[in-house]
Amino acid sequence: MPASSTRRPSYAAVLSVPHARRTFVSALVGRLSYGVAPIAVMLAVTRATGSYAVAGVVMALFGASAVFLSPYRAALVDRHGPRRALIPMSFLYSGLLCALAAVSRQPGASAVVLGAMAAATGACAPPLGPTMRAVWGRLVDDRRLLQRAYSLDGVVEELLYVTGPLLVGAVIGVASPAVGVVLGALLMAAGTTAFVGSPAVAAMRPAARAKSRVGGGGSLRGRGLLQPVVVAAGMGLALSAVDLLVVAFAAERGRGDGTVTWVLAALSAGSAVGGLANGAVDWRVSARVRLPLFAAGLGLTLCAAGLAPGIGALAVAAACAGCFVAPALTTAYLIADEAAPEGFRTRAGAWVNTAVNAGSSAGAVAAGLLAERLPLGVCFAVAGGVALGAAGVAGLRVLAPAAPTRPITGGCRPQTPAVGPEGASSSNAGRAG
């Protein structure tokens, strides 16, 4: 049952919504697998093959299949419901991870076999993040409370991608990386099983096949989802470029890798603070107006980062830039949720998530090419310019006629029979699930 719109819009109110805490925690357990499994797989493959190049290719295959097939996996959730779709995905994903762990334990393992298994594993990755955001949209009818729910979701997800590598580090201190891969499999299987067993998820029913165009904004062909997808892609591109530029900045000044981690940690910390602050503010302007402003703020601060005289100033600039990251992504997910028709909500969130990941992949390649040819200050300005360009496109969408959104009547989202349910953060913009 949706939360009452009279509930005080706070983070405590979000977690006190019936079934919210149990559902959220179980989803986080499964999503922690995405912070554990990739780095464990990379370490296991590196140890098995003795080649960083092979490990890079294997991880590229894993990431590409996870990212670019995400909307199609989300479509299965919309069409068949979370229980029927997520359980098979999670078991396939977990089983393939275990098989990958077994193969990678053998020295001299075939690179072709490892690559094929990694691609198959990524293709089965359950879209827990988009599904959880769809569940939030069902549990919470007050848009202000939903904003806080999305902000909390984004900030905690940020922490998962910090906690995951720490867990892997603890595991490989006493066992092989393959054990870390198995840990990722167990987290996914246990978390997904608990997630779909939640009453909030069990109440979500499959939708009829959604049309590709509904009311001009029902899909990516309409106006409703174009704005958040463009901004998400631009942010992913800019942020992944910053990761590499920070490394180049530190190397240019003779600093070690430790300084790089501090700068990227400042970016993550700024994102977490910005996300919590965004969720706590009772905004007077619409999400579609806020989104280009957040993207523009990110772009301007990244341009300013290129003027930093030293690593300390760069860390401060990174923290300031981070303050716009989580608010922008949270707002993008809110707009996607508003624009999506019934039966499309999980896919809407997945498309935003895919846009971040696709932009992240392109940004890493582009930054590597630019850093070898242009001064770093110019490279930071280019990264900021990408975010500013995305803000400009998003601003133009604000001036266009608004796409229809699902109305909220009497404080509650209208319920329709047989309708269905409806992945940055900062330095780790790409999210598999």
* CA 322 – CA 303 distance, rounded (Å): 13
Task: Please check whether residues 255 and 168 belong to one and the same domain.
Answer: no
Task: Please check whether residues 149 and 243 belong to one and the same domain.
Answer: no
pLDDT band at 28 (very low <50, low <70, confident <90, very high): very high
pLDDT at 24: 94
List 411's β-bridge partners, or say none: none
Answer whether residue 119 shows pLDDT above 70.
yes
pLDDT band at 7 (very low <50, low <70, confident <90, very high): very low
* CA 425 – CA 260 distance, rounded (Å): 18
- End-of-domain residue from the set 147, 167, 202: 202
Domain assignment present for 114: yes
pLDDT at 67: 84
Q: What is the average pLDDT across 8-20?
A: 81
Q: What is the average pLDDT across 105-111?
A: 87
Domain count, the chain: 2
Domain assignment present for 100: yes
List 3's β-bridge partners, or say none: 140
Task: Please check whether residues 160 and 64 belong to one and the same domain.
Answer: yes
Task: Please check whether residues 186 and 296 belong to one and the same domain.
Answer: no
What are residue 279's phi and psi, to 5 degrees?
-70, -25
Determine whether 102 is exposed, middle or buried from the number of CB atoms within 10 Å of its CB (0-12, 13-18, 19+): middle
pLDDT at 256: 62
* CA 239 – CA 425 distance, rounded (Å): 9
Answer whether residue 210 shows pLDDT above 70.
no
- With H, G, I as helix, E, B as strand and everything else as coil, classify residue 409: strand
Task: Please check whether residues 195 and 239 belong to one and the same domain.
Answer: no
| CATH at 84 | 1.20.1250.20
Instruction: Specify whether the CB–CB gap between 391 and 231 falls below 8 A.
Output: yes
Answer whether residue 413 shows pLDDT above 50.
no
User: How confident is the model over 34-89, as pLDDT tens digits?
Assistant: 988 988 898 889 889 888 788 878 888 888 888 889 888 988 998 888 999 999 99
* CA 381 – CA 366 distance, rounded (Å): 13
* CA 36 – CA 161 distance, rounded (Å): 8
Domain assignment present for 297: yes
Task: Please check whether residues 50 and 167 belong to one and the same domain.
Answer: yes
**Highest mean pLDDT: which of 123-127, 211-215, 266-270?**
123-127
Task: Please check whether residues 294 and 339 belong to one and the same domain.
Answer: yes
User: How confident is the model over 240-276, as pLDDT tens digits?
Assistant: 888 788 878 888 877 765 677 788 778 888 888 888 8
| Whether the model pTM is above 0.85 | no
pLDDT at 405: 46
Domain assignment present for 424: no
Answer whether residue 116 shows pLDDT above 90.
yes
Task: Please check whether residues 245 and 161 belong to one and the same domain.
Answer: no
Task: Please check whether residues 373 and 287 belong to one and the same domain.
Answer: yes
Domain assignment present for 421: no
Answer whether residue 424 shows pLDDT above 70.
no
Q: Higher-confidence residue: 282 or 233? A: 233
What percentage of the chain exceeds 90 in pLDDT?
28
Domain assignment present for 195: yes
Q: What is the average pLDDT across 155-159?
A: 83
Q: Is residue 49 within a helix (H) or strand (E), and if so which, with residue range?
A: helix 20-49
Task: Please check whether residues 186 and 275 belong to one and the same domain.
Answer: no
Average pLDDT across the chain, whole number:
81
What percentage of the chain exceeds 70 in pLDDT?
84
Domain that holds residue 39: 19-202
Answer whether residue 139 shows pLDDT above 70.
yes
Instruction: Specify whether the CB–CB gap between 29 and 167 falls below 8 A.
Output: no
Tokens found for residue 92: 């396939």
Task: Please check whether residues 276 and 320 belong to one and the same domain.
Answer: yes
Tokens found for residue 105: 């334990």
Max Cα distance, the chain (Å): 64
Task: Please check whether residues 147 and 187 belong to one and the same domain.
Answer: yes
Domain assignment present for 331: yes
Answer whether residue 430 shows pLDDT above 70.
no
Half-sphere exposure of 362 (CA within 13 A, CB side): 15
Write the DSSP symbol of residue 141: -
Instruction: Specify whether the CB–CB gap between 178 and 105 falls below 8 A.
Output: yes
Q: What is the average pLDDT across 320-345?
A: 84
Answer whether residue 213 shows pLDDT above 50.
no
pLDDT at 330: 87
Name which of 3-12, 59-68, 196-205 the model is least confident about. 3-12
pLDDT band at 113 (very low <50, low <70, confident <90, very high): very high
Domain assignment present for 94: yes
List 412's β-bridge partners, or say none: 409
Instruction: Specify whether the CB–CB gap between 53 and 181 falls below 8 A.
Output: no
